[in-house]
Structure 1
Amino acid sequence: MVTNKFNDTLAAIELNAARKLNWDYSQFKDFFSFTVNKEAIEIALKNKIEESQLETLKQALLDYGFQYKKTVNDLILVFEQDVELR
């Protein structure tokens, strides 16, 4: 995926995730920081979330073809685009 296109999609992904969590966007940004790293999305957790909220976040990214891949230091979630959609 081209980086510019990837960055353009990031805001839509964030808004979709906030909507699925039933949070307003500012509340969402208080809990998560999204960054693009090559062809992956890294989400830094700024505050603790419940397991059900984490599952909702994972589903919101799956809506855009990104699958959960790993957690780094219990603080950063890494999602990569589904190979079939590339």
Structure 2
Amino acid sequence: MVTSKFSNTLSAIELNAGRKLNWHYDQLKEYLSFTVNNEAIEVIPKNKILQESELETLKEALLDYGFQYKKTIDDSILVFEQNIELR
């Protein structure tokens, strides 16, 4: 997937994540930062440590768009890559 396509879809992914977490958009942007990096989406918690249930909900929200959890970097940056079967 081309990075520009990620950028076009990123807002929809953020809105979906906020909806699933029952957070309004401003709350989502206050707590989490979504960025595109090398055909992956990185989610960085800013002002909140995610509870296990919130983390699972976030993983489900990204899975709705074909992104699967891949790894955590430095115990904070969550990396999601698009499902290989969908490429």
Q: TM-score range by the shorter chain?
A: over 0.9
Give SS of 1:48's match: coil
Runs of 4+ residues over 6 Å off in structure 1: none
Structure 2 spans left out of the alignment, 5+ residues: none
TM-score (norm 2): 0.96
Give percent identity, aligned residues only: 70
- Paired residues in the alignment total 86
SS at match of 1:70: strand
Give structure 1 stretches of 5+ with no counterpart: none
Q: Which residue of the partner structure matches residue 49 of structure 1?
A: 50
Distance 1:3 1:49 in 2: 27
| Correspondence 1:1-80 to 2 at 5 A | 1-46=1-46, 47-80=48-81
Normalization by structure 1: what TM-score?
0.97
Measured in 2, the distance between the counterparts of 1:19 and 1:25 equals 8
